[in-house]
Amino acid sequence: MKEFPVILLLIICLAIIVWSFYKQQRIYQFPFLVAIAFTGFIVPQGFGIYNQPGYVDPYALDMTMVMAILCVSCCWTGYLCTKPSYKFLSTIDFKVSIDKLFQFGIIYSIIGSIFFVFLGNLPTNVLSQTWSGVLVIYNFFAQLAYLGFSLLLVSTLRKPSAYRWICCGLASTWPLIRLVFFGRRTEAAILASIIFASLFLVRRFFIPRKILVTCLVLGVFFIYGIEGYRSLLAENIQDSGNQKFTIENVIELAKGTTQIDWIETFQKTFGGQQISELRYAASLIEVTYESGQYGFGTIYWNRLINAYVPSQFLGRDFKNSLLIRISDISDLIQEKEVAFSGLTVTSVGELFHEFWFFGAFIYCLISSFFKQIWILAFRYYNAFYQILYTLILPLAFITVVDGTSGFLQQLVYYLFFLFPVLSYSRFEKK
């Protein structure tokens, strides 16, 4: 059976999901979310590329699925085998002022909302192009809206008041608008993570299993049907490069969502009829293996440089001088003469390109990190780490879809802006 590697991957993912449901607190932990991402994102595409491999050689498909199996296995075993040092964790169990956390939440929410407005006022033909210059700056500060919302929500759940709940509602406005009127999948994952993880960590609120399973199934169809929703947005909200948020257009948008075939795209992906990220990863693995050109971890450094060194201020030449160029993914893929515009390489292709099959052990390191933060947020009931955990939890999906370098990029961003929060709100233990 040629699809056996995909079936084996599915069995491992289902085992992690069953393990997570056995103790309900595990659904808020790293292995569960990674298993969900592989089950809903990688497995359907795996069946698809085996049904229609196209330009990818069969041996490359098998290597791709073996790499996926190793990634999931390392994620689970790394999490289970991590033995935290409680003595060390006690030294970083910082006590913080809830009121000061709330104050910083307001500041970050205001800054993020302002830059969301700036992004929203730009023509759609500008937003659809490769982002550079002022767009990168706007987006950099707009992400503070999520950080501010997490600060506000955790602070409010720990010290509730009507005023604080109103601030939380206002802080969620622009992220919700970005989800509804721009069709961003990432925003859905971030908002859901912040809300449900905060409710659990602070109030120990569990999502009923039946509701959770229903939401996960609907989420899978939402992921694959999002392109149809974005096309609907282009027809009703985005007109001639401009965005029109009129009542009539919003009503037409609501009516149009009932006409989208949310299952059709999933069926096409399962049958291999859609352009898929996993086929992109398989092509990268094939070319990397044949050429012997590996990145050796340079993608992590280069991604940070590309994300956080502004060429508009420091110059393009200076920025390029900081990049380490051992093996360029785009150059390798061009040898296949196939266009992959807009697709991500996924962690499967990225880790193989960097470290061969040994790249799967990166998931052991990430799992260990998540477990340490989980203990501080859950067992130590630390407000600062509760906020950090709600922010990094959706990065479990990003490690699969956008690669582990995307996880590192976002983690650095959150730590950079949380450092002043910790410095301002921290006080000594009595």
> pLDDT band at 181, cuts 50/70/90?
low
Flag the least confident range among 6-20, 162-176, 267-281: 267-281
> pLDDT band at 427, cuts 50/70/90?
confident
Span 215-248, pLDDT tens digits: 777 766 666 665 555 555 555 555 544 455 555 5
**Beta bridge mates, 239:** 242
**Phi/psi of residue 206, each to 5°?**
-100, 140
> pLDDT band at 396, cuts 50/70/90?
confident
Query: From the centroid of its chain, how far is CA 204?
Result: 24
User: How far are the Cα atoms of 30, 78, 197, 248, 355 from residue 12, in angstroms, in the given order?
Assistant: 15, 14, 25, 48, 23
Flag the least confident range among 31-35, 56-60, 214-218: 214-218
Model confidence at 72: pLDDT above 90:
yes
Span 112-157, pLDDT tens digits: 888 887 776 666 555 555 566 677 788 888 888 889 999 999 999 9
pLDDT of residue 124: 59
Mean pLDDT computed over 47-52: 79
| Averaged pLDDT score across all residues of the chain | 78
> pLDDT band at 107, cuts 50/70/90?
very high
pLDDT of residue 189: 76
pLDDT of residue 241: 46
Whole-angstrom Cα Rg for the chain: 22
Mean pLDDT computed over 66-90: 88
Candidate ranges 82-96, 343-357, 383-397; pick with highest mean pLDDT: 383-397
Model confidence at 377: pLDDT above 60:
yes
Q: Which amino acid is at 418?
A: L
pTM (predicted TM-score): 0.83
Span 309-360, pLDDT tens digits: 877 777 778 777 788 777 665 655 655 545 455 567 788 888 988 888 898 9
Span 183-210, pLDDT tens digits: 566 677 788 888 888 888 888 888 777 7
State how far the Cα of 71 lies from the Cα of 34, in Å rounded to an integer.
9
